[in-house]
Structure 1
Amino acid sequence: MNLLPQLFDWVLATSLRASLLAAAVLLIQAALHRHLTPRWRYALWLPVLATLLMPSLLESRWSVETLLSHTAKEAVVAPAAQPLPMALEIAAPAVPIPPTPTQPFNWQLALATTWAVGCCAWLLCGTVSFMLALRRYRRSALPAPTDLLHEIEQVAAEMRLRRLPRIWVSPQVGSPAITGVWRPTLMLPFQLGEHFTPAEIRLILKHELMHLKRGDLPMNLLLCALMALHWFNPLLWMAFFKVRTDREAACDAQVLAHGSTESRRHYGHALLKMESAFGPHGLSLGFVGIFQRGTALRTRIQAIAQAPRSHPLMRSFIVGAMAVLTFLGSTRAQTPPDEAAQKDLSFALGQSRFRPGDALHIISVERTAEFLTVTGKYELTSQDAATLGLYITSLDSPAKGVPNGPNQQVVLQKGRGKFSLTLPQPYPGLPHLTFYKLAPPSNHKAFGAIYFGTKAEAEASHKLNLSYLAQDAPYPTVANKYLLEKLDRIVLPDIQFSGATLEEVVEFLTVKAKEYDTTETDETRKGVPFLILLRPGPQKIISLDLKKVPLVEAIRYVSELAGMKFRVEPHAVIFVPATGSTPLIKATPTPAQNPKGRAGELDRKIILPQVQLKEATLEEAAEYLRTQVQTACDRMQESPLNIIIKPGAPAGLKISLSLKEVPLVEALRYLAELSNHTLRADDQGFILEPR
C-alpha cells in the first residue's frame, strides 16, 4: 500500500479517537466547573494530545473496542495440510485466466491526496502569515525605554528565568505576546505605557514571561502542527481553541498564585483594558499572548475574581480520569489467541521454472481457511508486460464454486517491483505463482512459475512437468538480452592494469562486476560469469587504464588487447581465440543444446542452482556434475542420466567454471568447450568426445 493512504488512515483513526476524548473532557469540565482549578482544566487535555501523537495502538482486552463489542467472531481453524501422495504423477497445464478488469477509481488515494493538499495549504498560509507579521514587527521595532528594560529584568529575576528573551517594542504590535521556540522574542506595543498603570504592566510582563517558563511555546508549535493534520475535523478545532483558552487561564493562575486581592484587581482591569485597547494578531497562530476576546476573556476574568476551591479528593479524581482517558485513547481490541493461531505464516519453496531474466521472490505467505495471501518481489525482462496470478493446482479434480478474487492477479510491467496477491477460499492442492502472457486475450499462456506451500506440497511440486513453460521461448535470445542489459548497466569507476594476464584481468572483472551490480536485488545473481577458452602457447600481456567505463566496453578493450574475441551467451561471457568466425552474440543453439529422447525430457527439468569449479580436471568436473544430476533425479524419482567422458583429454587440463541457475545441457556444453570436446546426447545421457 502507498505511504500516503496509510498515513491518511492513521490520521482518520486518531482524529476519531481524539474527538471522542475531547467530548469526554468537555463533559468533565462542564460537570466539575466549580471544583476544577485552571491548571487541572488545562491538564485534562493531555490524554487528547497523547492520543493524537500515538503512532500505533497497544492491544488490550480492556480497550473501548473490546468493551463495546457485544458479539465475538467465531474462530475458524484452518484444516491441517494433509501429506500429498509422493508417487503420484501430476500434470500442470497452463491455467487460462480472464482478461484483467479495468481498475476502479481509487477513492482512498483521492481522499488522501485531498487531505495532504489541505495540510500543505494550511501550513503554507499559517507560515506565510506568521513570517510576514514577524518581519513587519522586526522592521518597525524601536529601542525599548530604559525603565521598561529594568522592569523586565526584575520580573525575570523574580521568576528565575535562565535567560532573557529578545525584546521588540513596536507600534505595529497589536498586543503583548511572545513567540519563537529556539530564540524567544517578547513583543510589546509601543503605546503600552499610555493605557496601563505600572502595576498592570508588571503583571502583563509576568504573564508573558510565565509562558516562557512553562514551556508553552513548544506546546503551541505542536498544536499548530496538529491543527494542520486535522484541518478537516471541526470538533478538534473547537478542542484546540479550548486548549488555548485553558492555557491562558492556567497561566493567569500561576501569575496570581501568591498575589494579593489588590493584584487580582489590577490583573482583571488589565484584561478589560486589553479588549478596548488592542486587537488580535490576525490569522497567525505562532504567537502566545495574554489577549483574548469575548467569552474566553470573560471566563478568565471570572476565574480571577472568584478562584475555584478544589475538593481534597479532586486531585486524585482528575489524575484517575486522565489515566483512564489515556488508556482508552491509546489501546485497541486484542487479537483473540485462536484467531492468531489459525494464521499459518510458514512456507517452503517448491519447483520453479522461469525464462532467463525473469524471477519471483516470495517474501511472506499467510494462509487461513478463508484466504491465502502472498507478498514478494518480481523481475520481468522477457515480456513488456505480463499478468501474475496466484492459483492452486488441484490434485484430484478442479475446485467448483470458487470464484476468482479481485486481488488474485495483477498486471506487471517490464522491470522490477513488489506484489501482493490474495486467493479467496483456498482448497487442497499445490499453490503457485505464475506469469501469463497478456495477448491474445483468448489464450493467456504461462511462461514462468514457482510452487510453494507446506513442506509436503513443496516436495510434491517437483513431480510436476513444467517443460511447457519454456516451449515457446527462443532460448537463448531472451537470456542474451538480459545479460547484455546488465553489461551496459554496470559501470566500473576505475580499471588499472600493467603487465597482467587475461586470467588476472578476468578475475578482477568478476569481483568488480558483482560489487557494482547495484540494481540486482537477488544476491545470488549479482555480477557476470566469465569463461576463457585459451589455446596452448604464450599469452599477451595486458596494460589498461580506464575511468568510468561500462562493463561491456571494458570487456571489449580487454579482448582486443589479449588478441581474443568475446561472445555473450545465456549464462556467461566467453573469451575465445580471435581466429575463426565466432559470433559476438550467440543466438542459435548448438545441436546438443536441444537433446531428444529421455535426455532432452529430463534436461528441461534439471536446473543446476550453482556450478563452481576451480582448477579441476575434466573427470573431477564430470563427477561434480554427476552428483548434482543424481540429486535432482532422486528428487524427481527418476533414474539418473549418464555423463560419459571418452578417453583422449589433453594432459594437464584444468577447468575453472562459475555458473548460476544454468540448465544441465548448458553446463555440459561449457565444459565441452573448455576441455576441447564435442557434446552429444542419446536416450540415456550425454557423451563428451575429444575433438
Structure 2
Amino acid sequence: MFAWIIAQQAWLSALLITLVIVERYALKSLTARFIYGLWLVVPAALIAHHVELSQSVASPTVLNSYIVTPLQQASTQVSMNWEIAYWLVVTVLLLGVFLQHAQFQRRIGAKLTSTANVSNASLPIYESTKISSPMLIGFIRPRIVLPSYLVTQHNPDTLALMIEHEHVHLRRHDNIINAAALGCVILMWFNPLIWLGYFSLRRTQELACDELVLANKSATQRLLYGKSMVECASRSQLHSLAYSYYGDKNMMLQRLHNMQSANRGHIVAKVLSILLALASLTLIATTQAGEGHNQDKTDQPQAVMRIEPKYPIEAAEQNISGSVVLRFQIAQDGSVNNVTVVKSQPAQVFDKEAVRALEQWQYQPYSDPEHEHLVQLDFKLSNDVQLPDLTERINVTSH
C-alpha cells in the first residue's frame, strides 16, 4: 500500500492545486456549492486510476532476473526503515486525532437542551457553554450541539437558521466526508498539498452550506444569520482538528463576505469547469491505460515492492555465488503465492533465502492468479561475477 500511495502523489497534487486555485479565484463565478461538487473529481480519479491499474495484465512468458549482493542488504534495510517510519507516523497521527476528538467531546460537556423551541427539531439538540458556534459532532451517531448563549437568547428565527445549517451538513453526510478526508490526509501526511487541499475542502463545505440555507431566505433572515455568525466569531473558544472551521474567526469573515456577494454563478464558467473535470479524469485514466500497454509490451509483471534476500553468511565466507530459478503466482491483490524452486546452482545453498524473500514481494494487481511466473535470483559477491543462465531469459536487474 505504501508504494501505491507514493505513486499517486504527482497527479493528485496537480489536481488539488487546481481545486485550491478554483476555490480561491473562482468562487464568485462558480458558487461554493458548485465548487464543493467539483471535489467529487478526487475520489472519482482515485477509482478510475485503481480500475485501470487492475485491468493492466502482464505477459507471463518472460523470466525476470534479480541480482542479490551482500552490499545491497544495507540499502534495502534503509528503505524498509523508511516504510516503518511512515507507518509509525500514520499510527501516531491517527491515535492523536482519535484522542483529540474524544477529549474535545468530553470538554464541551454537551447536554440535551430543555428549551421547547429547540427541542421540537427533528433531531435531538444539545447545548454547551464551551463552544461558540453550532456544531454537528460525531461520525457514527451525530448530534447537533448549540452554544448555550444562543439557546438562552431565545430567538426562534435565529435558532431555526442555525439548526437548518447543521441539518444541511447532516443531509449531505459532511461529517462522514470530513472523516474520510482527514483519514486521507493522515495517510499522505508527508505531502503539504494534501493538507492545503483538506483545508480548502472544509472552507468550501461551510460556504456551500450557507448558500443552501440562504437560497430562498428573506433579507431579514439573512441579516439574522449574519449577526449570529458575527457573534459566534467574537466568542471563539475550543478548537479541534476535526472541527477546525466551527467558530474560526477568519472562516466566519469569509462566510459573511460570501453572503454579501452570493450569486447563482455564470453558466459558461460552470460548463467549462465540468469539461475540465471530465478532461482530468480522462487524462488520468488514459495515462494509466498507457502504462498498462507499456507493461504488455515489456512482457513483465511489475513489482512494486521487493524484499531483499539475505546473502547466506556461509556462502559469503566461502566465496560462493549462484542462482535460483523460482516459479510463483501473483494474486489479484498483487501478493505472491505458491513459490517453488525450479532449479538452483549450487543446489540448496540459496534456496531457502530466495523463497523467503520472494514470498514477501508485492506486484501490481494481477487478473490471472492461476498463471505461473518465473524469476531467477542471482546471488553474486560482486557484479563482476559471471553466472550461467539456468534457463532462457531476459536479464532485468534491479539496478
- Is the partner of 1:313 in helix, strand or coil? helix
Q: Retained in 2: the 8 A contact 1:378–1:418?
A: no
Pair 451,432 (structure 1): closer, same or farther in 2 beyond 3 Å: farther
Q: Retained in 1: the 8 A contact 2:326–2:339?
A: yes
Q: Retained in 1: the 8 A contact 2:181–2:198?
A: yes
Q: Retained in 2: the 8 A contact 1:195–1:277?
A: no
Q: Give the counterpart letter for 1:363 in structure 2.
A: F
Structure 2 equivalent of residue 648 of structure 1: none
Written as runs of structure 1 = structure 2, the 5 A alignment for 1:355-370 is: 362-363=327-328
Structure 1 equivalent of residue 140 of structure 2: 182
Written as runs of structure 1 = structure 2, the 5 A alignment for 1:380-459 is: 386-388=349-351, 411-412=353-354, 418=359, 452-453=391-392
Shift of residue 19, structure 1, vs aligned partner: 1.2
Q: Retained in 1: the 8 A contact 2:236–2:248?
A: no
Structure 2 equivalent of residue 308 of structure 1: 263
Pair 197,167 (structure 1): closer, same or farther in 2 beyond 3 Å: closer
Structure 2 equivalent of residue 222 of structure 1: 180
Shift of residue 50, structure 1, vs aligned partner: 3.3
Written as runs of structure 1 = structure 2, the 5 A alignment for 1:420-569 is: 452-453=391-392
Q: How many residue pairs align between the two structures? A: 332
Q: Give the counterpart letter for 2:137 in structure 1.
A: T
2:8 equivalent among 8, 14, 26: 14
Pair 329,30 (structure 1): closer, same or farther in 2 beyond 3 Å: farther
Structure 2 alignment gaps of length 5 or more: 54-60, 62-66, 302-323, 331-337, 362-373, 394-399
Q: Retained in 2: the 8 A contact 1:178–1:288?
A: no
Q: Retained in 2: the 8 A contact 1:386–1:435?
A: no
Structure 1 equivalent of residue 209 of structure 2: 251
Larger helix fraction of residues:
2
Structure 2 equivalent of residue 117 of structure 1: 88
Q: Retained in 1: the 8 A contact 2:111–2:127?
A: yes
- Is the partner of 1:265 in helix, strand or coil? helix
Q: Deviations over 1:129-172 (max 9, x none)?
A: 1112223445x62543223212xx2xx4xxxxxxx2x4322323
Q: Deviations over 1:334-384 (max 9, x none)?
A: 148687345389xxxxxxxxxxxxx9752379xxxxxxxxx943499xx99
2:111 equivalent among 128, 141, 144: 141
Structure 2 equivalent of residue 291 of structure 1: 247
User: Could you say which structure has the greater relative contact order, defined with CA pairs below 8 angstroms and 6 or more residues apart?
Assistant: 2
In structure 2, C-alpha distance between the alignment counterparts of 1:111 and 1:303, rounded to whole Å:
44
- Is the partner of 1:104 in helix, strand or coil? helix
Structure 1 alignment gaps of length 5 or more: 1-6, 60-77, 79-96, 157-163, 346-358, 366-374, 389-409, 421-430, 439-443, 455-691
Q: Retained in 2: the 8 A contact 1:178–1:184?
A: yes
Structure 1 equivalent of residue 371 of structure 2: none
Q: Deviations over 1:538-571 (max 9, x none)?
A: xxxxxxxxxxxxxxxxxxxxxxxxxxxxxxxxxx
Q: Give the counterpart letter for 2:14 in structure 1.
A: L
Q: Deviations over 1:573-632 (max 9, x none)?
A: xxxxxxxxxxxxxxxxxxxxxxxxxxxxxxxxxxxxxxxxxxxxxxxxxxxxxxxxxxxx
Structure 1 equivalent of residue 192 of structure 2: 234
Shift of residue 244, structure 1, vs aligned partner: 0.3
Shift of residue 249, structure 1, vs aligned partner: 0.5
1:340 equivalent among 289, 293, 296: 296
Larger strand fraction of residues:
1
Q: Retained in 1: the 8 A contact 2:28–2:261?
A: no
Structure 2 equivalent of residue 103 of structure 1: 73
Shift of residue 322, structure 1, vs aligned partner: 1.8
Structure 2 equivalent of residue 199 of structure 1: 157
- TM-score of the superposition, structure 2-length normalised? 0.70
Shift of residue 13, structure 1, vs aligned partner: 2.3
Shift of residue 205, structure 1, vs aligned partner: 0.9
Q: Deviations over 1:258-307 (max 9, x none)?
A: 11122111111111111112324x2340x48753321x322211111121
Shift of residue 435, structure 1, vs aligned partner: 11
Structure 2 equivalent of residue 44 of structure 1: 38
Pair 134,235 (structure 1): closer, same or farther in 2 beyond 3 Å: same
- Is the partner of 2:205 in helix, strand or coil? helix
Q: Give the counterpart letter for 2:118 in structure 1.
A: L
- Is the partner of 2:50 in helix, strand or coil? coil
**Are residues 1:211 and 2:169 paired?**
yes
In structure 2, C-alpha distance between the alignment counterparts of 1:205 and 1:143, rounded to whole Å:
13
**Are residues 1:130 and 2:85 paired?**
no
Q: Give the counterpart letter for 2:94 in structure 1.
A: L
In structure 2, C-alpha distance between the alignment counterparts of 1:240 and 1:434, rounded to whole Å:
44
- Is the partner of 2:8 in helix, strand or coil? helix
Structure 1 equivalent of residue 317 of structure 2: none
In structure 1, C-alpha distance between the alignment counterparts of 2:69 and 2:254, rounded to whole Å:
67
- TM-score of the superposition, structure 1-length normalised? 0.42
In structure 2, C-alpha distance between the alignment counterparts of 1:453 and 1:269, rounded to whole Å:
79
Pair 213,451 (structure 1): closer, same or farther in 2 beyond 3 Å: same
Q: Deviations over 1:214-237 (max 9, x none)?
A: 221211111111111111111211
- Is the partner of 2:75 in helix, strand or coil? coil
Q: Retained in 2: the 8 A contact 1:126–1:284?
A: yes
**Are residues 1:270 and 2:241 paired?**
no
Coordinate RMSD, CA, aligned? 4.2
Pair 124,190 (structure 1): closer, same or farther in 2 beyond 3 Å: same
What percent of counterpart residues are identical? 21
- Is the partner of 2:127 in helix, strand or coil? strand
